[in-house]
Structure 1
Amino acid sequence: MIDWNSIAKKFKEADAILIGASNGLSITEGLHLFADNAAFERLFGDFKRKYGLGCILQGMMAGWPSEEEKWAFWTRLIHHYCGQYQPTPVMNDLKAIVGEKDYFVVTSNGEGHFELCGFDPTKIYEIEGNWFTMQCARPCHDTLYSSLEVAEKLSAAEQGGHVPTELVPRCPKCGGPMDIHMGAGQRMIPDTAAQARFQNFLKTYHGKKLVVLELGIGWHNQLIKAPMMRLVASEPNATYVTINLGEIYIADNIKEKSFGLDGRLDELLPALREACEA
C-alpha cells in the first residue's frame, strides 16, 4: 500500500521541488523514441520503408543522404510533437503538484513539453539539448538559434520526404549545415546558462526541505538518476520520490528518506495530486 499521506506531507512541507524526468514521461505522453508503433508508422512510414528506420531515435541519429532529407525528418518530428502539442493530463497533474512552490526541472527529454506546458524555461535544464534550438553542425561558434519557427515553415513546404533546398537552414556565420541542438552528438554545444541556473537552485536550497521527484527514469541512468540520489544522500532534509513502471531502484544509503512508486505515471500522478490537494 502506498502511504499517500506521508508522501503528500513531504510535498506540502517542502521549500522547493526538484523534478527529474526521462523517457518514461515522454512515453506516457505518447512519444516513444524507441518503438516501431502505430504512431511511428503514421508519421514516418515512408522513411521506414525507404531508409529502414525502426524508430524515432534511429532517425535522430541517422546519417542522412542530404540536408533536404534530414530536415524533412526533423521538420515532421518537431511539427507533430512540438508545434501541434497540447498539454496532457499527466503534465497538468505535475503542474498542480508543484503549485506555487519554487522548482527546477532536469530532463533528458528534448521535445520541450515542460516549456510548452507553462513551466518557466529559466527553471529547466535539458541535459541533452532540445528540439527547439539548432546550432552550427561544425560548430564554428556557440550560438543557439530557434528551430521551432523554421520547422513550422518547412512543414508547409515538405514534399515526398524532402524540403526545398533554398529553405534548408544554414549557419549564419560560416554558411555550413545546421544541426538540431539535440542531434549534434559530441559536437553539441553545452547549455552553460542552464547549468549555472541549476547550480544556483541547489545552492539556494542547500540544507532546506527539498523534494526530489523522479519521473520515468531507469535504474541505470547516470545522467539524472545517479546524481539525484547522490544529492539526496548529501542533503539532510531532502526526500526522494521515484515513480517508474516495473523498475524501482533506490540506493541503500537513502532508503529511509525515499518513496518508490511502481506504476504508470498517468495513474500515480493523479493520486499524488489528490493527496497533495487534500
Structure 2
Amino acid sequence: MSFYEELVTQTQMNYSRYYPVYASGSTPYQLTDKKPLPYGEQIDRLVQEVKEADCVVVGGASGLSAAGGGDFYYEDNDSYRKYFRPFAEKYHFKGAFAGMMHPWETREEYWGYLATFLHTTQTAPLRDPYLDLDVLLKGKDFFVLTTNQDTQFVKLYPENKVAEIQGDHRFFQCAACCTDDTWDAVKPVAEMMDAMGDGTKIPTELIPRCPHCGGEAFPWVRGYGNFLQGAKYEEQYEKISRYVLEHKDSKILFLELGVGRLTPMFIQEPFWNLTLSFPHARYIAINDKYNFLPKQLEDRGMAIVADIAQVLRDARDTMESGDNNQ
C-alpha cells in the first residue's frame, strides 16, 4: 500500500469510529476559535501563500465543479434539466445521482441514463473555477489530487500531474472485475447518445460489454458498482504519494477546494495530517459551507468560507493585478 493510500485508510477508520459526528455535518477534531480575517485580507493571503510556496498540492473535490456549474448531481435545477430533460420529465428525479439509484425496468433505459450522465461530463467545457485556478498556479511546481470523476482536471493538465483516486468517466471496466483492464468509454458513449436521440433508451446491441468475459461493462468509478481497484487505481495513489514524499521538506502548500462531509478521508484529513507532519507545510481550505480549521493548524493554515468560484476569480484578479504592478 502506497504512502497516501495508507493515510486514507487511517482516516477511513476514524470516519467509521466517529460516523455520527460526520453524518451530522461536523468533525471530531477540535477546531480553532480564532476569528477569521476579513474576506479581502483572506484573498491577499491566499495569493501570497501561493506565491511563496515552493510547490502546491491541490485537492479538488465536488464543490469545485459545482461552483462552476456542475451542480446537477443533487437537485432538479436548470443544469439538471439542460442535460437530463427527458429523464427529468419522465421520472422527476431530484438530480443526476437519484437516477443512478433508480430500479430501471430495462438495461437499455438504464444505459440510456448512464450514457447521458457520462456524456454530460465527458463533453463539458472547462469550468471557470478551473481556469482561474490555472492562472493562480501558473509557473508553480504543483500536483492535483481529485475525487472528482468528471474529467475537468485531465482536460487541463497532463495525466502525470493529476491523481484521480475515485475513477474517471472516460473509462469502462468489467462490472464483475473479471480483468484488471480498463478501456475507452468516450466513443461508445457518443454512439449510445447518437442512437438514443431524444429518447431514453439505447439499442440492446450498444450495451457495452467486457471484451474478456462478455458481461456488462461499468464506468471506472467508485460509488455505484464494483469499483476496480487494480493497476490503474494503484497508479493514482502512487503518483500523489511520490509527489508529496519528494517535496516533504519543501515549502509546500496544501490547497483544499470544495470537500464535503461525505468524503473527508480522501483529501481533507490527509492534508491536515501532512501539514502537521511536514516541517514547512501550509494549508488553505476554500469551502462555501464549512469553516473547518483544526486548532493545531491555526498558525499554519486558513479556511475561507465563501463561494469557491468567487474566491478563485478574486484571487486570480489579485494575482494578475500584482503581476502587472511588478
TM-score by length of structure 2 reads: 0.79
Unaligned runs of 5+ in 2: 1-37
Please list the CA deviations of residues 163-204 of structure 1 after superposition, one character each: whole Å capped at 9, or x if unmatched.
Answer: 111121100000000011115646201211111111100111
Q: SS state of the match for residue 286, structure 2?
A: strand
Confirm whether residue 156 of structure 1 aligns to residue 194 of structure 2.
yes
Q: SS state of the match for residue 179, structure 1?
A: strand
Q: Which residue of 2 is the match for residue 93 of structure 1?
A: 132
- Structure 2 counterpart of 1:179, from 191, 197, 218: 218
Q: Which residue of 2 is the match for residue 134 of structure 1?
A: 172
Q: How many residues align?
A: 276
Q: Which residue of 2 is the match for residue 260 of structure 1?
A: 303
Q: Which residue of 2 is the match for residue 71 of structure 1?
A: 111
Q: Which residue of 1 is the match for residue 277 of structure 2?
A: 234
Q: Which residue of 2 is the match for residue 212 of structure 1?
A: 254
Name the CA distance, whole Å, in 2 between partners of 1:105 and 1:62.
Answer: 33
Distance 1:186 1:41, change over 3 A: closer
Letter in 2 for 1:229: W
Name the CA distance, whole Å, in 1 between partners of 2:261 and 2:97.
Answer: 20
Letter in 1 for 2:110: K
Shift of 1:247: 1.7
Letter in 2 for 1:66: T
Distance 1:61 1:193, change over 3 A: farther
Distance 1:62 1:130, change over 3 A: farther
Regions of 4+ moved over 6 Å: none
Name the CA distance, whole Å, in 2 between partners of 1:69 and 1:219.
Answer: 32
Q: Is the 1:214–1:241 Cα contact (8 Å) retained in structure 2? A: yes
Letter in 2 for 1:64: W
Q: Is the 2:175–2:225 Cα contact (8 Å) retained in structure 1? A: no
Q: Which residue of 2 is the match for residue 81 of structure 1?
A: 121
Letter in 1 for 2:78: A
Shift of 1:126: 1.9
Name the CA distance, whole Å, in 1 between partners of 2:285 and 2:177.
Answer: 37
Q: Is the 2:143–2:240 Cα contact (8 Å) retained in structure 1? A: yes
TM-score by length of structure 1 reads: 0.92
Q: Is the 2:69–2:127 Cα contact (8 Å) retained in structure 1? A: no
Q: Is the 1:36–1:55 Cα contact (8 Å) retained in structure 2? A: yes
Q: Is the 1:219–1:249 Cα contact (8 Å) retained in structure 2? A: no
Q: Which residue of 2 is the match for residue 54 of structure 1?
A: 94
Letter in 2 for 1:161: T
Name the CA distance, whole Å, in 2 between partners of 1:193 and 1:183.
Answer: 16
Shift of 1:219: 5.3
Shift of 1:232: 0.9
- Structure 2 counterpart of 1:27, from 66, 86, 91: 66
Q: Which residue of 1 is the match for residue 316 of structure 2?
A: 273
Name the CA distance, whole Å, in 2 between partners of 1:276 and 1:42.
Answer: 34
Name the CA distance, whole Å, in 1 between partners of 2:313 and 2:68.
Answer: 14
Name the CA distance, whole Å, in 1 between partners of 2:257 and 2:171.
Answer: 24
Please list the CA deviations of residues 61-119 of structure 1 after superposition, one character each: whole Å capped at 9, or x if unmatched.
Answer: 44433332222112222223322x22232211111111122222122211111112x21
Cα RMSD after superposing both structures? 1.9
Q: Is the 1:140–1:174 Cα contact (8 Å) retained in structure 2? A: yes
Distance 1:192 1:162, change over 3 A: same
Please list the CA deviations of residues 200-244 of structure 1 after superposition, one character each: whole Å capped at 9, or x if unmatched.
Answer: 001110111111111111356222111111111111211111111
